[in-house]
Chain A
Amino acid sequence: MSLAAPPDLPLWTKRDATVLAVLLTAGALLVALSWFFAAGRADAGDQLVFVTLAVIGAVVGVTGAVLWTTHGRRLINLRRSLLLGTAPPPVADRAVATELVAGPTGRWFHRADCLLAEGRGWPTSTRAQHESAGRHACPGCRP
């Protein structure tokens, strides 16, 4: 059996590793050179440009790291979804009762078998009564 995605397929290619190595090396070099040149100056004002360069170097290195991890994560998620699919949606507990109930101080009225109303012993009323009391239809059971 041949596989479109063989088990020994590497997570990162040589190109990914090269990009990471180049960005990390460039970042590290910038930080090291900034330190070297900043340490040789007596005026803090002259050093600030090297501090900025060091920050840029750190950003370059972090960019390489972020590219590396996001690429790996994206491939893993893609392969996992291809292999295992997504979980089936849960079967909704649909309320079907036609009696409409609500708590005395409630803002919503529900179907009697709504999960939010079950077991509460709330009195049944008509829709018009609920609406005249200022209640709205429960967005969960949608009476």
Chain B
Amino acid sequence: MNLGNWMRLAWDRAAAVILIAAGAVALVLGWVGVSGEAFPAKQLPYLISGGIAGVFILVLGTVCWLSADMRDEWTKLDRIETALNRLADTGLVDSNGARPASAKSVGLVDSKS
């Protein structure tokens, strides 16, 4: 899979990588800016734009990555639920069977169906 395809399919992870890189760059630039100034009045704007904004962007990137992970996990649970429901529909499992029965018993499957 080339980079373009990956960015299209995993746009949330691509955004996370870009944001984390941007946050890291902002932190470095902030540090460079602060270290090049002698007066606190000149340094504090770098602290805000480089330091605090950099951390903010890093957090955004981290949230993007975590969201992508959670979406993947949610999709897997969708598949598991579909498989369990299909299994429950076959009638091949005992009503006391472990997984299909638990899917019904917890109310994820409508008892009227």
Contact = CB atoms under 8 A, between A and B. Distances in A.
Contacts of B59: 58, 61-62, 65
Nearest to B112: A2
A58 B106 CA distance: 41
Interface in A80-122: 80, 82-85
B interface, by DSSP: helix, strand, loop or mixed? helix
A6 B98 CA distance: 21
A39 B49 CA distance: 10
A98 B36 CA distance: 77
Nearest to A24: B60
B80 A65 contact: no
A interface, by DSSP: helix, strand, loop or mixed? helix
Interface in B35-91: 39-41, 44-45, 47-49, 52-53, 55-56, 59-60, 62-63, 66-67, 70-71, 73-74, 77-78, 80-82, 84-85, 89
B44 to A, nearest CB: 4
Contacts of A69: 63, 66-67, 70
Q: Interface size class for chain B?
A: 35 or more
B63 A1 contact: no
Contacts of A27: 56
Contacts of B89: 1
Interface residues of A, number: 44
6 contacts: A27-B56, A38-B48, A57-B56, A58-B56, A75-B74, A76-B73
Given A27-B56, A34-B48, A58-B55, 19 more contacts: A2-B112, A2-B113, A3-B109, A4-B110, A34-B52, A38-B44, A38-B45, A39-B49, A44-B39, A44-B40, A44-B44, A50-B44, A50-B48, A57-B52, A57-B56, A68-B63, A69-B63, A73-B70, A84-B102
Interface of A: 1-5, 7-8, 11, 24, 27-28, 31-32, 34-35, 38-39, 41-44, 47-48, 50-51, 54-55, 57-58, 61-62, 65, 68-69, 72-73, 75-76, 79-80, 82-85
